[in-house]
Amino acid sequence: MPIEVFFKSCGLNCAADLYLPADYKPGEKRPGLVLGHGFTLVKGTLEPHARYFQAAGFIVLAIDYRTFGASEGEPRAQLLPLNEVEDFRNALSYLQARPEVDPARVGIWGASFAGALVSYVGAVDQRVKATCAMVPVTDGFLWMKLMRDRGTWEKLVQVMAADRERRYRGEPGGRLPVNGRIEDICALPTVDDDIRGFFNALKENFPTWCDTITIESIERIIEFSPLNMVERISPRPYLIISTSGYDVVHPADSIAELFHRAREPKRLVFLPYDQTQLYVEPGLSRANQTATEFFIEHLGAPR
């Protein structure tokens, strides 16, 4: 079982699961990885990936951002991307200070919206020696607009404007459901039954997950663009793992544009799966193995 630990981020206690390899011996210094969860999720959803990297010999820290899961912060499920970037960077500081970790050999991994976050963190934090983004969101504005038809987009813009006025008057901001149908005013509308089924199962499987998000979060996501930052990762290595099949949330052309913006050394791997199939077998193991090989190449063999 992982060990739940806490690290400080802007005065708040953020929760994380620490995974130590079974063959770790006191006094060793191994490479470490920080893993962040995707859009509105919690650290428990990272367990299959964390255990894979743990089995390969890495010290792994899977985090809850502030206001999510077991971390402190109000209002709950407030997704401000630059706050989550800061949480990632503070988790790096915590991991580097662990006695088990070689602070000169740390990497970061994230999927979907966390793929956007690690692309940004890798660009601004020189301590990151290897960055892996799986099916990353590339630009908040393009992502939010891509999920909606024109009419629904205009309604969302009006909802955000009204919420900003409420907050200016000192009133509490409003909230939206995390997921819904394509015509719904929600954070992530979709026509895909697999994605709705994924979100519907979260509450039962992960009790700390919140099924609503603040409207302000959507406004801040729209302002967030790793696409305009990713070139700064160079000369440190960058890996994108994506899907070549059907994926309306992370379309291949947007992934290709992110890769194009990045500078060498970089690598893009398209795996032959649809949008949710990198989270289940066999796609899960193929994606994790690709990431593991990348981290071993650039951080050194854990053992």
10 Å Cβ neighbour count for 239? 25
Kind and range of the H or E run holding 226: none
- The reply to whether 201 falls in a domain is no
Domain with residue 65: its CATH number is 3.40.50.1820
Tell me the per-residue pLDDT of 79-130, one tens digit each, with 9 for 90 and over. 999 999 999 999 999 999 999 999 999 999 999 999 999 999 999 999 999 9
Say if residues 92 and 109 touch (Cβ distance below 8 Å): no
* Cα–Cα distance for residue pair 221/80, rounded to 1 Å: 7
Residue 39 placed within a domain: yes
Residue 7 · residue 94 · CB < 8 Å? yes
- Tell me the residue range of the domain where 63 lies: 3-139+218-299
What pTM does this model have? 0.97
Q: How many residues in total does the chain contain?
A: 303
The answer as to whether 251 is a domain residue is yes
70 in any annotated domain? yes
Domain-embedded: residue 15: yes
Task: Note whether residue 149 is domain-resident.
Answer: no
Report the domain count for the chain.
Answer: 1
Task: Give domain status of residue 267, yes or no.
Answer: yes
130-134 vs 238-243, strand pairing mode: parallel
Tell me whether the omega of the peptide bond preceding residue 235 falls within 30 degrees of 0, making it cis.
yes
- 233-253 tens-digit pLDDT: 999 999 999 999 989 889 999
Spatial distance between the Cα atoms of 238 and 133, rounded to a whole number of angstroms: 8
Residue 126, both tokens: 């020189």
